[in-house]
Amino acid sequence: MKILLITDQHFGARNDNTGFLDYYEDFYSNVVIPYIDKHKITTIINLGDTFDRRKYVNFNTLERAKKMWFTPLEERGITAHTIIGNHDTYYKNTNEINSPELLLTDYEHIIPYSSPTLLELDHCNIAILPWICSENYTESMDFISTVKADILMGHLELSGFAMYRGYENDHGMDSSIFNRFDMVFTGHYHHKSDNGHVYYLGNPYELTWSDYNDPRGFHIFDTETRTLEFVQNPYKMFHKVIYDDKSEVKIEPEKFQHLRNKYVKVVVREKNNPYNFDLFIESIYKNNPAQLTIVEDVDLTSYDEDDTINEAEDTVTILSKYIEGMEIDVDKARLDTLMRGLYMEALQASDT
């Protein structure tokens, strides 16, 4: 049996930005749903953070999420086992009130899990572990140590894994407590990574500049072979364009049509003809990008196409250096982690 795994969909991210909803819809309508139809997928496991906001839902976001994702699943009779993540819960100390259980009751085949549960699929026992909070901590620890399952799927905060590319989280639970399982799949961190035993699946699409050029998508888990296949999302929200007029630059607005409603950085390598540069920028603007940023005075002597021009990474580096230089009697590592987390949340909550 092949199960589609998806996590951290964050419907409503970036302040319910409609451009991001359009971006989501391209992915679901043109990639995921056709894949489901072609490969006759009947079961999905969603590993948490279905919705972005913990306190309320935007009605337009909910309607569009239903149209692009939940309703097509229901129409096909697909069972979607839905793990509750931290963004799905109203309170931080309990999973009792959560958005999937409140908002998706109309869907017979969407099954939310707010408590640890043993799930058997095709003779494969899977331990389902929702977000661990103060109320369910003891129950969760007992479940981890006693449940009779080879596979665990949850929404976990573990130390030693990258929250986003380039930044490894130094707090959270020790992954060794899951050593009794053959494989562990989890949501929560948006960067896709693994240590050969624990697999952070990553979210399906780019949400901030820190996600630029970082592969996103969904996975297929085969219960018979115990193999995991990654299906990459071909759609990008964040793009970089190099300007260099050392060679001839052709002003062709049609070549930038793919930048419509996208976030764009123009990285200036060489600018000797200001008029030509203005025409170049205008040709991008004619395609109505969501945001256009010009990056100049950057040392690109060692630049190659795989490098990331990333404002977010520069900012968190500045934060880290500032905290390190502070003369305060606190755990600087924990403060650094807190500030990085707050910064990333602020980016995701921003419209721009």
pLDDT 10s digit of each residue in the chain, 352 long?
Answer: 999 999 999 999 999 999 999 999 999 999 999 999 999 999 999 999 999 999 999 999 999 999 999 999 999 999 999 999 999 999 999 999 999 999 999 999 999 999 999 999 999 999 999 999 999 999 999 999 999 999 999 999 999 999 888 888 888 999 999 999 999 999 999 999 999 999 999 999 999 998 999 999 999 999 999 999 999 999 999 999 999 988 777 788 888 999 999 999 999 998 988 888 999 999 999 999 999 999 986 555 544 444 444 444 456 656 765 676 666 777 767 787 777 777 766 765 554 4
Query: Do residue 168 and residue 277 come from a single domain?
Result: no
Query: Do residue 177 and residue 32 come from a single domain?
Result: yes
Query: Do residue 245 and residue 221 come from a single domain?
Result: no
Query: Do residue 176 and residue 224 come from a single domain?
Result: yes
Query: Do residue 250 and residue 320 come from a single domain?
Result: no
pTM, two decimal places: 0.85
304 found inside a domain: no
Query: Do residue 166 and residue 275 come from a single domain?
Result: no
Q: Which domain holds residue 14?
A: 2-232
Query: Do residue 117 and residue 69 come from a single domain?
Result: yes
SS (H, E, C) the chain: CEEEEECCCCECHHHHCHHHHHHHHHHHHHHHHHHHHHHCCCEEEECCCCECCCCCCCHHHHHHHHHHHHHHHHHCCCEEEEECCHHHECCCCCCCCEHHHHHCCCCCCEEEECCCEEEEECCEEEEEECCCCCCCHHHHHHHHHHCCCCEEEEECCECCCEEECCEECCCCECHHHHCCCCEEEEECCCCCEECCCEEECCCCCCCCHHHCCCCCEEEEEECCCCEEEEEECCCCCEEEEEEECCCCCCCCHHHHHHHCCCEEEEEEEECCCHHHHHHHHHHHHCCCCCEEEEECCCCCCCCCCCCCCCHHHHHHHHHHHHHHHCCCCCCHHHHHHHHHHHHHHHHHHCCC
Query: Do residue 117 and residue 217 come from a single domain?
Result: yes
46 found inside a domain: yes
300 found inside a domain: no
